[in-house]
Amino acid sequence: MNRILALDPVARTARVEPGVRNLAITPAAAPHGLYYASDPSNQIACTIGSSVAENGGGVPCLKYELTVQNVLAVKVVTMAGELIELGAAVPDAPGYDLLAFYIGSEGMLRVTMALLPVPEQAQALLAAFDDAERAGQAVGNIIAAGIIPAGLEMMDGPAIQAAEAFAHAGYSTDAATILLCELDGTLEEVTELTHQVRGLLLASGATLVQVSRDDAERLRFWKGRKSAFPAVGRIAPDYYCMGGTIPRRKLPQVLRRTAQLAAEYRLPVANVFHAGDGNLYPLILFDANRPGELERVEALGGRILELCVEVSGTITSEHGGGDREDQPDVRPVQPGGAGPVPCRETGLRPTGAAESRQRSTDPATLLGVSAVTGEGRAAKWPGLVERGGG
């Protein structure tokens, strides 16, 4: 199940089996001037099947969106053993959008994804800031100027130091925060946008702005960001990651409050996130062999998710909800401080559309984890602990 079955440069599509690695598709398409835009940080190992199952997107999701927007068709096996094909080799196939119904599930046998022309030019800017508030303002200023970067990422001090020690990306290790911004398009477009973004970064208070001089330096800038998750393994034996999404203007406030919570729980936190669309990935660093530490980590994780909702955000990121978001001690308060929301964010009972959708095709909740009902693998087999990141 790891073959590229067909690549159509005219239709700009690739039809692959789910075991094909994400990283293998762009080299196969490159001779035709095409590439696959989805670029999760773990793309060297992750497969297309896992990308579809988790609806990942990675750094380019701000401009090029998530897997669900880049997949045209899938061939799946239902729990009844039926082979069905959803979607088509062209966008906007007629009928109900059952393709989106299955993305974020499991059981794919074949995936058809859209390919894009390789941009004529790509340029990365690396900006250092002495505080998170200025970096957060810079993100807002770039988007407010009508500029949609191919990637706009933020890392805080602990993440910077870990990534630089691991990847030697050229980061300023005394910076409180760095922003990575990638621009792509025609040569003329990228040249003009680079000039604009550099000015916006400096006007927002950046202490240093570096513009990649060539493609090798651009890739080196990104190597640090993509290495952030494994890099923290050098400074802690375990890390706990959750995903939340917040309004961009709340980034400085959330970072400050997260630091306060980390001090309260006596646990270090490294922050890495898609700043352009407000996707947060706090990494709580700990040692599971120390008695009571995992429980403190889980409690801190719950407080961070509550914080996301307090600022009018959500406890899910690009990947959707996981088992932690469904635990009883995660009780986000309503925006404005109106008290706890019944049943997580929405106040809805878990017998709504999401549960009905899963049970319509998988009554025993065996095909994937049900974060809505809490009846997936992690609930049925509580000894199963999953660790990882994206």
- Residue 368 in domain: no
Give, for 121, the enclosing helix (H) or strand (E). strand 121-129
Spell out the residues 6+ positions from residue 325 whose beta carbon is closer than 8 angstroms to its own: 242, 305, 315, 316, 344, 371
My answer on whether 103 and 130 are in the same domain is no
- Residue 374 in domain: no
CA distance 292 to 300: 13
Residue with tokens 């990651």, as numbered in its chain: 241
Residues 5, 61, 106, 11: is their CA dihedral positive or negative? negative
Task: Write the DSSP assignment of 6-56 as a string of letters.
Answer: EEETTTTEEEE-TTSBHHHHHHHHGGGTEE---B-TTTTT-BHHHHHHHT-
Q: Hey, how many other C-beta atoms are within 10 angstroms of the C-beta on 36?
A: 24
Choose among 265, 266, 208, 271: nearest CA to 243.
Answer: 271
My answer on whether 159 and 241 are in the same domain is no
CA distance 308 to 280: 9
CA distance 217 to 73: 36
My answer on whether 153 and 138 are in the same domain is yes
**CATH number of the structural domain spanning residue 89:** 3.30.465.10
- Residue 199 in domain: yes
Q: Provide the number of structural domains found in the chain.
A: 3
CA distance 249 to 257: 14
Per-residue model confidence (pLDDT) at position 261: 96
Token pair belonging to 119: 């941009």
Q: Hey, how many other C-beta atoms are within 10 angstroms of the C-beta on 388?
A: 8
**CATH number of the structural domain spanning residue 300:** 3.30.70.2740
My answer on whether 248 and 264 are in the same domain is yes
My answer on whether 103 and 141 are in the same domain is no
What phi-psi label fits residue 148: left (phi over 0), alpha (psi between -120 and 50 degrees) or beta?
beta
Residue 282 DSSP SS3: strand
Choose among 192, 197, 135, 143: nearest CA to 160.
Answer: 135
My answer on whether 345 and 312 are in the same domain is yes
**Of 172, 199, 230, at which residue does a domain stop?**
230
CA distance 345 to 227: 32
My answer on whether 31 and 105 are in the same domain is yes
Per-residue model confidence (pLDDT) at position 367: 58
My answer on whether 76 and 60 are in the same domain is yes
Per-residue model confidence (pLDDT) at position 300: 96
Per-residue model confidence (pLDDT) at position 321: 55
Spell out the residues 6+ positions from residue 128 whose beta carbon is closer than 8 angstroms to its own: 171, 172, 175, 177, 178, 206, 207, 208, 209
Choose among 215, 190, 251: nearest CA to 63.
Answer: 190
pTM: 0.80
Burial string for 111-125 (b: 16+ CB within 10 Å, else e) reads bbbbbbeebebbbbb
My answer on whether 223 and 325 are in the same domain is no
For 64-105, write each residue's pLDDT tens digit: 988 888 999 998 887 778 888 888 877 777 778 888 877 876
The residues of the chain scoring below 50 in pLDDT are: 324-351, 369-390
Amino acid at position 304, single letter: I
My answer on whether 281 and 310 are in the same domain is yes
Q: Which domain holds residue 217?
A: 121-230
My answer on whether 183 and 256 are in the same domain is no
- Residue 378 in domain: no
CA distance 178 to 208: 9
For residues 148 and 63, the answer to whether their CB atoms sit within 8 Å is yes
Per-residue model confidence (pLDDT) at position 382: 39
Per-residue model confidence (pLDDT) at position 141: 93
Choose among 281, 269, 332: nearest CA to 303.
Answer: 332
**Of 90, 117, 144, at which residue does a domain stop?**
117
